[in-house]
Copies of this chain bind each other. A is one copy, B any other.
């Protein structure tokens, strides 16, 4: 339809009007700020995710952890290697299954995760600085989280962050 080859617009949909564009810009800004904060952590953002995940609840196996964070279990090996070398986590034998390892955060790991979490909060605020009003911010967060959780239910993708994997496949659709 619309077979009008309009020079300056064709079918409309200017870039600034694009949802994906806006989301991308915003996420990119946040990621930039976040990865500055997380630059010091072995494994970067991923390493931080592991730290918070193991600090949050009982010891998990590597596989559990990998599934939860949406990374391949081979990647998890490298990730944990780095974190362990840095003294942030430990691999302990699982008394119930000698194949598995229980991953626990060391005191240093918990402490680091703690301080990073605070700094990430600042990064969030930086991104949200475009909405000076407190009410606008709350509104945005609220709407965003409604959308995110809805999407998440539609898309029962295990959990938080298959993000990486999925997006990769997606983008990899290159001809």
Contact = CB atoms under 8 A, between A and B. Distances in A.
Interface of A: 1-3, 5-16, 18-32, 34-35, 37-39, 41-49, 52, 55-58, 82, 86, 107, 110-111, 113-115, 117-118, 120-121, 123-124, 127-131, 136, 139-141, 143-152, 154-155, 157, 159-164, 166-175
Copies in the complex: 2
**Chain A interface main SS type:** helix
A35 B3 CA distance: 23
Contacts of A162: 24, 28
Q: Among the interface residues A23, A35, A163, which one has the most CB atoms of the partner chain B within 10 A? A: A163
Contacts of A38: 173, 175
A10 B110 contact: yes
Nearest to A124: B19
Nearest to A24: B163
